[in-house]
Amino acid sequence: MRLELKQAGKVYGRGMERIEALQDISLVLSGGDRIILTGESGAGKSTLLRILGLIDRDFSGDYLIDGKNSRDFKPKELQKIRNHIFGFVFQEYALIEDDTVFENVKIPLLYSNVKRKDYKKEIERTLEEVGLLELMGKQARSLSGGQRQRVAIARALVNRPEVIIADEPTASLDSSTADQVLQALYNYLDNTKILIMATHGLKGKGPGNEKILRIAEGSISL
Amino acid sequence: MLLNDIRLALKDIYKDKILLVFYILFFACVLYTIISTTGSLVYEVKRPVTDKGDYTVFEAFLIGERIKQPEELKEGLAHIYGSEAFSYCEAGSKTYVFFGDPSGVYPYLKTEKDLSIFVGEKRKNTEKIALGGVDYGIEGILEEGCSFESLPGLWEDMDEMTFIVMRNFELPSWIRGDETEMIFEIIGNTHILTRKTEKIEEFFNCVGHDFVELRVKEQRGKGEELGFILGQMYPFLFILLLCYFLCSSIILDGVIKRRIKEFTLHLLQGARMRDIVLRFVLYYIFIIAAAITLCFWLGVADKEELWLYLLAGAAFITLISVMAARKLKKKDLNTNLIVGGAE
């Protein structure tokens, strides 16, 4: 897996309210890379992650995934990448509050090639990896912040993606919960997987061999 | 994938079960509005009147106690009702006698005989009726629910009525009651099936001014009814549908907002746009099907107009699918995750 961002830029607003969130960002990532993006609030970390995760496709520059430009993806290819290749962990968890943990983690499986009869097995395996198996039947709204974030991680990992993109996964968590959450993430990684994680400042240990990139005013420095 | 979409749509329906009841009632109201105004138009278009297309009805005011020349009056009325006119009077409980040929206005009463008897649906098992010691067979059974507008007081169950049609005007002996009162009633119920002034003048001259004062009450015709419907009812319908549409849009916007985050999450986890649109479409098919079923159950919908209801439903579903797809097709889906949604 190779991700290549070429001179990517992102502008919000128009005229007097125009904000250049990212300017000329170029990156190359391949299997085994562990990237930690740091920077102040508003520096552009989340914007960069959303571009990398194909949540935001309205940007300048080019984004190549295994050599193919993301602008040329047909809907079916886009669907496959979002389902099989990428696992995105959102900053605010982005769970469906009325649904159970099981139902939330099941969502990526609905659009995969996994047979319906195997859903439970896959979900249970993933929930065990994040230490939440016993909460499988609980509604998302009844969970604590740390538990919700681990459910979000489980959802991101259930289809065994090659690229994990995590946007400040420990932002509103205390240190020990943050450790738990990060450990759940790190346990999944091997030397074929790519991790890109945004954080204000890394709480707890890093994944090992991480490269820290600092974003300031829309530009990157090592 | 299709089965998944159906399951998710059913889950959406179950989640919103209380809101759905209100939504179904709302659509049933919209359908009823369309049905009743369309029904009026169709009725007026299909309803046959005379070839001339118009008829005149009258108001009669009693001004004398006796008819000065009753035989002359009866002869005159016989001539009037002989062509392009008819009248009727009550002849007992739920029984009316028509004189002349009422089929121009009431096609159900068409007959070639001098005396024919028609009964309502609920009396269809009657084999014969005795009038003045003579048995008469039943000429026809009136269709269930057929109407006889302009016959005063006939708001009760038409299906229990008996109508006796006599082509020649002659007060039969078996009708009990005061002759003067009957003739007054008959004059007042006269329908002249033309707007020709000669026929109306003949009627006025026949009746005279000693016994009854006559006035033209109404001149009704296909054209006037249609004009009323098209000129007044349809603009009203248009305004009402506009209001319904605005209400629908507001409700829809709320429903889409509530769901947009969830739909966006599904898109980001590998759903395709068609999966989301299908979920939406199935959700609304359920609502509209339930509303149509409710209208049929309440008896306000007509099988023959089912195509119209389905067309209206399809138009609505297309509209809301386009609205939802527009919101979901953004290049930057992040805004959908921030606004609206389950959280």
Please, which residues 150-179 of chain A have a Cβ atom closer than 8 Å to chain B? Answer: 155, 159
**Structural element, H or E, at residue A36:** strand A34-38
Q: What are phi and psi of B98, to 5 degrees?
A: -105, 140
Compare CB distances from A58 to B262, B332, B337 and report the shortest one's residue.
Answer: B332
Contact A142/B at CB under 8 A: no
Compare CB distances from B268 to A55, A96, A112 and report the shortest one's residue.
Answer: A55
pLDDT of A103: 95
Q: What is the DSSP letter of B56?
A: E
pLDDT of B222: 53
Cβ–Cβ below 8 Å for A83 and B266: no
> What's the pLDDT tens digit per position in A74-99?
988 999 999 999 999 988 888 998 89
> What's the pLDDT tens digit per position in A143-189?
998 899 899 999 999 999 999 999 988 877 788 888 888 888 888 88
Compare CB distances from A98 to B4, B334, B342 and report the shortest one's residue.
Answer: B342
Alpha carbons within 13 A on the beta-carbon side of B281: 16
- In chain B, what residues touch A159 (CB-CB under 8 Å)? 270
> What's the pLDDT tens digit per position in A91-139?
888 899 889 999 999 999 999 999 999 999 999 999 998 889 999 999 9
| Domain residue extents for chain A | 30-48+78-221
List chain B pLDDT tens, one digit each, 343 residues. 788 889 988 888 888 888 888 888 888 887 777 777 766 665 555 554 444 446 788 888 888 878 888 888 889 999 999 988 999 988 877 888 999 988 877 877 888 888 889 888 888 888 888 887 888 888 888 876 666 665 555 555 677 888 899 988 888 888 777 888 888 989 988 988 876 788 888 899 888 877 888 888 766 655 555 556 566 667 777 787 788 778 777 777 777 777 888 888 898 999 988 888 888 888 888 888 998 898 888 887 777 778 878 887 888 888 878 877 887 777 677 777 765 433 3
Nearest C-alpha of chain A: how many angstroms from B270?
Answer: 4
pLDDT of B342: 34
CB within 8 A of A17, min separation 6: which ones? none
pLDDT of A222: 59
- In chain B, what residues touch A57 (CB-CB under 8 Å)? 331-332
Contact, B243 vs B33, CB < 8 A?
A: no
What is the chain A residue with the closest CA to B5? A110
Nearest C-alpha of chain A: how many angstroms from B5?
Answer: 9
The order of strands in the sheet holding B140-141 is B140-141, B115-119, B162-166, B95-100, B85-90, B191-192, B54-62, B212-221
Of A41-50, A54-63, B223-232, the one with minimum mean pLDDT is B223-232
Nearest C-alpha of chain A: how many angstroms from B332?
Answer: 4
pLDDT of B49: 47
Find the largest Cα–Cα distance for chain A.
55
Sign of the CA dihedral with A69 first, then A74, A75, and A76 last: negative
Task: Compute, in degrees rounded to 10, the torsion defined by CA atoms B321, A110, A2, A170.
Answer: 90
pLDDT of B92: 78
Q: How many degrees, rounded to 5, is the angle at CA B188 between CA B185 and CA B191? A: 120
Contact B270/A at CB under 8 A: yes
pLDDT of B51: 41
Mutate to test the interface with A, among B269, B328, B331 (most CBs of A within 10 A): B269
Sign of the CA dihedral with B266 first, then B271, B274, and B275 last: negative
pLDDT of B215: 85
Contact, B24 vs B164, CB < 8 A?
A: no
- In chain A, what residues touch B261 (CB-CB under 8 Å)? 94
Closest by alpha carbon to A61, among A22, A101, A19? A22
Instruction: Report the 10 Å Cβ neighbour count for A174.
Output: 11
Cβ–Cβ below 8 Å for B269 and A83: yes
CB within 8 A of A142, min separation 6: which ones? none
Sort B283 into a burial class: Cβ within 10 Å, 0-12 / 13-18 / 19+: buried
Sign of the CA dihedral with A105 first, then B274, A4, and A62 last: negative
Contact, A102 vs A114, CB < 8 A?
A: no
Contact B8/A at CB under 8 A: yes
| Whole-number Å distance between alpha carbons of A91 and A169 | 6
Contact A45/B at CB under 8 A: no
Cβ–Cβ below 8 Å for B334 and A56: yes
Sort B191 into a burial class: Cβ within 10 Å, 0-12 / 13-18 / 19+: buried
Contact B15/A at CB under 8 A: yes
Compare CB distances from A112 to B270, B272, B273 and report the shortest one's residue.
Answer: B270
Instruction: Report the 10 Å Cβ neighbour count for B188.
Output: 19
Nearest C-alpha of chain A: how many angstroms from B289?
Answer: 27
Q: Say whether pLDDT at A194 is over 90.
A: yes
Q: How many degrees, rounded to 5, is the angle at CA A37 between CA A35 and CA A42? A: 160
Can you state the angle between helices B306-328 and B17-46, rounded to 10 degrees?
Answer: 140
- Distances in Å between the alpha carbon of A64 and those of B19, B196, B334? 45, 86, 21
Sort A171 into a burial class: Cβ within 10 Å, 0-12 / 13-18 / 19+: middle
What is the chain A residue with the closest CA to B274? A75
| Whole-number Å distance between alpha carbons of B60 and B190 | 10
Sort A193 into a burial class: Cβ within 10 Å, 0-12 / 13-18 / 19+: buried
Contact A79/B at CB under 8 A: yes
- In chain B, what residues touch A45 (CB-CB under 8 Å)? none
Classified by CATH at the fold level, domain A30-48+78-221 comes out as: Rossmann fold (3.40.50)
pLDDT of B39: 63
Give A63's pLDDT tier (boundaries 50, 70, 90). very high
pLDDT of A70: 92
Q: What is the CA radius of gyration of chain B?
A: 30
pLDDT of B263: 87
Nearest C-alpha of chain A: how many angstroms from B342?
Answer: 6
> What's the pLDDT tens digit per position in A8-25?
998 887 777 788 888 889
**CB pairs A-B closer than 8 Å:** 71
Cβ–Cβ below 8 Å for B261 and A108: no
pLDDT of B52: 41
Cβ–Cβ below 8 Å for A82 and B269: yes
pLDDT of B340: 46
| Whole-number Å distance between alpha carbons of A7 and A51 | 12
What is the chain B residue with the closest CA to A49? B334
